[in-house]
Structure 1
């Protein structure tokens, strides 16, 4: 018979210590180190590289997504009701017929962005939104399937009008105000949006079919009457402070003010708790140092450091934002913006700087195992006191062998716009002693074609940038497809070349804080390679895919220890997928669905309105 043991204070202390130790170990295993930046370990399970694991997970996620595909009107309407909590909008049957006629892959999840954008408008009276849409300038209007005259003759507006005109015979009457600026316009406080979304959830219902109205009301029911709206726009001040009110109260960025000094390299989060690094909240969800949650890594509300490292928050090229929820459509936005997304004009345009048709360069094996990037020094209004914080400038610097070599030569010398030390963690044990600068010289062909100095110089020179950047000759977009790796970096807003890169059969490596209409359709680590906005992971990404390099003496690179096969698989998968779900037809299918939903939101009878033809 065992005797009862009395727990002494010493025993209690030992038990507590053991419990704490096991808890910490468990947390580290599950979450990783409590840093906003989790550096890679030696590998994932069974010694595999972390990217191997992320690619495998992406394939499984894609399979799970495609398992939801619907093939007929009834199953598509059922999927809608299950995901949205109400009946589809009037005209859903015509929408499905149009999508099916154009061989679309129909997965209800593909349209999540529409509901993220439109749901808050259920919290406002239909008449309010309807009348605002009619009064706002730069709008596309449709009456009795005929396009009305529009108020702006900019190229973007003409292109968007042409897009909607393709659908005019299938759409109800509508007024569609457009944002013709590069930058998004709406920043509604989080508390207001939360209230509107709660109202939307409360309004959800699946009424019996006999009680559902299946036809929209006349749009011009108000005649010329109605409230005249005066909308206040914020055009001055620190954009970060304007924007962070749209973050949730407990989000890391909500209480962090804009900085007053934007000189020197941006601070990185390396594990110390500070305004830039809050271990409990601003984790960008990496797997051993590589992006694993693409949605969160793009969200400035989770990363206060972006206020000091992205031109959109340092000094945007232009600023005109409202904190009112107004119906305004545009091509891109930040996660905290409330603009309604549509395909960007430059994606739709048949002739533009980024339209290269079916051109995709050489076959993969004939493409150079190198990195190509060309562009202007955009990203906002940079000048001598803030240029070191801009994302494109930083990317060019970290990819420049000369600048890296200078940073390595003197550990005490700080590069003007980047910190080198964190990158070494990505090169592995063998890479710690590699000639990093020489490796970059061999694999990178990146540079600015215009420095876009402020104030502007006619000869394209720039006194504060000239010591660090030398202009390079441009490369036509179709010639860039002869390179295997194509990084894509934000400019003044989103990058207009992204769709062309996806279609190119080269491998896009994407860093952004902007949302676009197609985000729910693309799978990171399957259709493109995601990259952190600090570019801290770029060396590890390229080392994984390209490996070691050596000139064969004939101006050609020989590579070894890389993962060229995996790179080819991703590049071709991205191209194939873009040709299936990012076609012009898919843009029209998205816009038609969006405008049917918007028309219902503007109808006073919207809560009793829907499509129930499949239930009759």
Structure 2
């Protein structure tokens, strides 16, 4: 049980780790200047309030009692008698705090790390070194250096993200990071001196209040006078996001106050060095233990570095305890702690070599084999109904006991007539329409009329078996709607009267908070709500005229939405408790391991559905251009029935087959073996607005940088053969791996506006990707397929129908997405691209690769690549034909016609005896 004198130290350590592990993921990081103002102001109020309860604090009489229950017993305080602070010390301290915030803001806004240096001088441990060197004597330098170096190595072994830095910007960031270290040292020593001369606890807390309040006021003034706050305001509705942001501000402010209060009590008992060393030790030890437990995996591939870091942390802190004369840390005696560290060191020395296991076979071999078996089961499950009676039973089983819609028998005959490979598997339709069963039919029809008032929404009306739309001949999307009407005519006579609001934009439109969608789904599953609602007879009238398009003029009629607002809206569409809902992930330097684990085996992507869900991987907010690009049309935050071509899991649009304005169907006739060996990709970017995140973290920019612009310090972790039978991971320079892999990646066209920095629409020289001639990518055996800035890949089906194997990196779903299986019809690629080299090397092989002084020969598996290419082409010719689009449309419209009808309970189809 800790004593009252030890309690402040425990609170200080606990508050530090709470801030360390939670602050980076909070909403406050999105607006750092304003957030620091709120956090400092809250902490100042809390500290001032605490100053009136100092009689309950240890040392309430003005001095602490030094006894055997001190938090750092026996510490030799050689710098206890400090010079009296000068009159200008307090304003200098406040100014340094504000400057430190500005440095943090510039580094986080510009670039995350120095790409030309493997070591990050802005890391946490280097911040601590500055303060130690200013307060420790020469005898303490050696143990402090060991501890700092060990902790630093333990914290920098994480795989790096593909977010990149280029040009002179990285040198500026490095300079700012070193300035930040110097400011940290000045802040700690100046604050210690000022607080140490406040002789009572109450005066100390009031001094802390003055420091926090001064920093808050100055930060607030800078924030409100900054030119960035005078940009055009958005007109979106956060629906609760403001309260979440305010909650984070208050909680962080209270925790910061508790940390500072407890720290002022602890440092008077010892020095700042004791507390900082203890926090550094715990941070480094926890990090290195995690690395030890992951030894042998792709996340921790350097066992010697891990072992050395562990020993440096243990030896450095043990030496520090003896050098500084500390006989106990918190409530743990020094001898017991040192004995525990020695035991851990021996255990780690034995465990690390034994835990480093190698794979007997390449993991992708087993993944592809298992996926083939899963594909066979999927095909049986998707078409198990050999009769109408069985189809009805399967439908009821998969739709909460609900009877199929009226006309289901006609659909079943139509699907069989056209030899559909899919009879029972339509989860996309079921999930898209389910929330609308929680709404009354009249409310749904009113939603269609409301959606019709939005720009770039077309109305499709089916009346008396005749489909028509409302787009005039001059509208550029008329050909798309004509094609949709023509597809429906084949079965329109069997459809009830209905209206559909069809989104013509590439982006999905309905981005509703999770609570509203979940409430509708619960009501739909209960099955009672629609029976209690009044029924109205609603006859279809004249169609609404389409609203003029706002594309190219996003700020017209208040339709402007910033990229930041889009990310916040997307977070609200995630369930409570998910990583994206909890806050943002702004550390683009390191790969988010926790984000990749749910869908990966090693670093290879396995679970495609989970990989497309943004809610557990908020790092993609800054690694995918869709979330960095301001949408030209404001997302709708009410559950309106809008049909779209594609969407992510966060959107509530209803998917339907919708062709694009131009769709090239020409395919090369040569087979897989006749194609060029290698991976190819061509991209076109024509962006209205380009941010720094875009230029260094956009998914298209990152792909091109990996293969054409990697610097000498870029590293790639790749699975390679260790001997004739076993495989392991190696960390190699990216440029060296690229030289042995056949790739042809580049932009055909790249245009982007960077008006904030350059005053016009142009690409900054330091950010312009390398362009290459637009060769025919389908002449390659492997073709990269990626999302655009605004939506899904435009050439997925074209590549799938060719004899090339698609490498797909996407977060979007289309009507056919749940018919395709990863590692069977396409090769799934994580949008972070951390496994791209290993995946390509598995298919193409590596010839005479020099790995740490040894030659590696890796035979490729082109047979697996050919099988995936041919299986995808064959399946597309069976399950993604034009007839399959019509079959999907027929079933979708039967379901929609029923859910919008007032008599929908009586419109079920039941087979007679």
Normalised by the shorter chain, which TM-score bucket? Answer: 0.7 to 0.9
766, 779, 791: which one pairs with 1:482?
A: 779
2:642 corresponds in structure 1 to 328
Secondary structure of the structure 2 residue equivalent to 1:452: strand
735, 749, 754: which one pairs with 1:437?
A: 735
Secondary structure of the structure 1 residue equivalent to 2:371: helix
Q: Is the 8 A contact 1:334 1:513 kept in 2?
A: yes
Superposition deviation, residue 134 in structure 1? 4.4
Report how many residues are paired. 522
Give 4+ residue runs of structure 1 displaced > 6 Å after superposition.
Answer: 34-37, 39-46
CA distance in 1, matches of 2:771, 2:601: 37
338, 343, 347: which one pairs with 2:657?
A: 343
603, 608, 612: which one pairs with 1:294?
A: 608
CA distance in 2, matches of 1:381, 1:342: 30
Secondary structure of the structure 2 residue equivalent to 1:332: coil
1:576 corresponds in structure 2 to 874
Superposition deviation, residue 221 in structure 1? 3.6
Instruction: Classify 1:186/1:258 alpha carbon distance in 2 versus 1 (closer, same or farther; 3 Å).
Output: farther
1:148 corresponds in structure 2 to 468
- Listed one character per residue, the Cα deviations across residues 415-435 of structure 1 (whole Å, up to 9, x for unaligned) are xxxxx33x3244455884878
* Pairing 1:365-384 to 2, within 5 Å after superposition: 365-377=673-685, 381-383=689-691
- Listed one character per residue, the Cα deviations across residues 199-236 of structure 1 (whole Å, up to 9, x for unaligned) are 1111199xxxxxxxxxxx99844769xxxxxxx99642
- Listed one character per residue, the Cα deviations across residues 32-70 of structure 1 (whole Å, up to 9, x for unaligned) are 959998689999997121111111121121121222222
Superposition deviation, residue 498 in structure 1? 0.3
2:409 corresponds in structure 1 to 93
- Listed one character per residue, the Cα deviations across residues 427-483 of structure 1 (whole Å, up to 9, x for unaligned) are 455884878536535611111111122169xxx9944156642322223xxx42221
2:515 corresponds in structure 1 to 191
- Listed one character per residue, the Cα deviations across residues 519-558 of structure 1 (whole Å, up to 9, x for unaligned) are 211110111000101111110110100012589xxxxxxx
Report whether the alignment pairs 1:246 with 2:573: yes
Instruction: Classify 1:521/1:282 alpha carbon distance in 2 versus 1 (closer, same or farther; 3 Å).
Output: same
1:15 corresponds in structure 2 to none
Q: Which runs of 5+ in 2 are unaligned?
A: 1-289, 303-354, 453-457, 530-534, 543-556, 724-728, 850-856
- Listed one character per residue, the Cα deviations across residues 156-211 of structure 1 (whole Å, up to 9, x for unaligned) are 33433333334323322221101111211111111111111111111199xxxxxx
CA distance in 1, matches of 2:826, 2:528: 36
RMSD of equivalent CA atoms: 3.5
* Pairing 1:539-554 to 2, within 5 Å after superposition: 539-549=837-847
CA distance in 1, matches of 2:359, 2:371: 19
1:276 corresponds in structure 2 to none
CA distance in 1, matches of 2:508, 2:521: 21
Instruction: Classify 1:570/1:605 alpha carbon distance in 2 versus 1 (closer, same or farther; 3 Å).
Output: same
Instruction: Classify 1:201/1:360 alpha carbon distance in 2 versus 1 (closer, same or farther; 3 Å).
Output: farther
CA distance in 2, matches of 1:39, 1:160: 52
Q: Is the 8 A contact 2:695 2:767 kept in 1?
A: no
Which gives a bigger RCO, structure 1 or 2 (Cα 8 Å, sep 6+)? 1
1:395 corresponds in structure 2 to 703
TM-score of the aligned structures, taking structure 1 as reference length: 0.77
TM-score of the aligned structures, taking structure 2 as reference length: 0.53
Q: Is the 8 A contact 1:375 1:447 kept in 2?
A: yes
CA distance in 1, matches of 2:357, 2:823: 16
Report whether the alignment pairs 1:304 with 2:604: no
2:773 corresponds in structure 1 to 473
CA distance in 2, matches of 1:335, 1:50: 29
95, 111, 119: which one pairs with 2:434?
A: 119
Instruction: Classify 1:99/1:380 alpha carbon distance in 2 versus 1 (closer, same or farther; 3 Å).
Output: farther
1:16 corresponds in structure 2 to none
* Pairing 1:34-433 to 2, within 5 Å after superposition: 47-68=360-381, 69=383, 70-84=385-399, 85-109=401-425, 111-134=426-449, 136-137=451-452, 138-151=458-471, 153-155=475-477, 156-203=480-527, 220-221=538-539, 235-237=560-562, 238=564, 239-257=566-584, 266-269=588-591, 271=593, 279=594, 283-346=597-660, 352-356=662-666, 359-377=667-685, 381-383=689-691, 386-400=694-708, 403-404=709-710, 407-408=711-712, 411=713, 420-421=714-715, 423-427=716-720, 429=722, 432=730
- Listed one character per residue, the Cα deviations across residues 389-428 of structure 1 (whole Å, up to 9, x for unaligned) are 211011111122xx22xx22xx3xxxxxxxx33x324445
Secondary structure of the structure 2 residue equivalent to 1:53: helix
Instruction: Classify 1:250/1:467 alpha carbon distance in 2 versus 1 (closer, same or farther; 3 Å).
Output: closer
Superposition deviation, residue 517 in structure 1? 1.1
Instruction: Classify 1:248/1:33 alpha carbon distance in 2 versus 1 (closer, same or farther; 3 Å).
Output: farther
CA distance in 2, matches of 1:443, 1:376: 22
Q: Which runs of 5+ in 1 are unaligned?
A: 1-27, 206-216, 225-231, 260-264, 272-278, 412-419, 552-558
Superposition deviation, residue 285 in structure 1? 2.1
2:748 corresponds in structure 1 to 449
Secondary structure of the structure 2 residue equivalent to 1:517: coil
CA distance in 2, matches of 1:257, 1:283: 18
Superposition deviation, residue 132 in structure 1? 2.5
Instruction: Classify 1:44/1:531 alpha carbon distance in 2 versus 1 (closer, same or farther; 3 Å).
Output: farther
Q: Is the 8 A contact 1:37 1:283 kept in 2?
A: no
Q: Is the 8 A contact 1:43 1:49 kept in 2?
A: no
Secondary structure of the structure 1 residue equivalent to 2:751: coil
Q: Is the 8 A contact 1:493 1:514 kept in 2?
A: yes
Instruction: Classify 1:266/1:257 alpha carbon distance in 2 versus 1 (closer, same or farther; 3 Å).
Output: closer
- Listed one character per residue, the Cα deviations across residues 120-165 of structure 1 (whole Å, up to 9, x for unaligned) are 0011111110233245321111111223341353333343333333
Query: Structure 1 residues 306-315 or 429-438, which shifts more?
Result: 429-438
Superposition deviation, residue 119 in structure 1? 0.1
Q: Is the 8 A contact 1:383 1:453 kept in 2?
A: no
Instruction: Choose between structure 1 and 2: higher helix proportion.
Output: 2
Secondary structure of the structure 1 residue equivalent to 2:503: coil
CA distance in 2, matches of 1:35, 1:235: 49
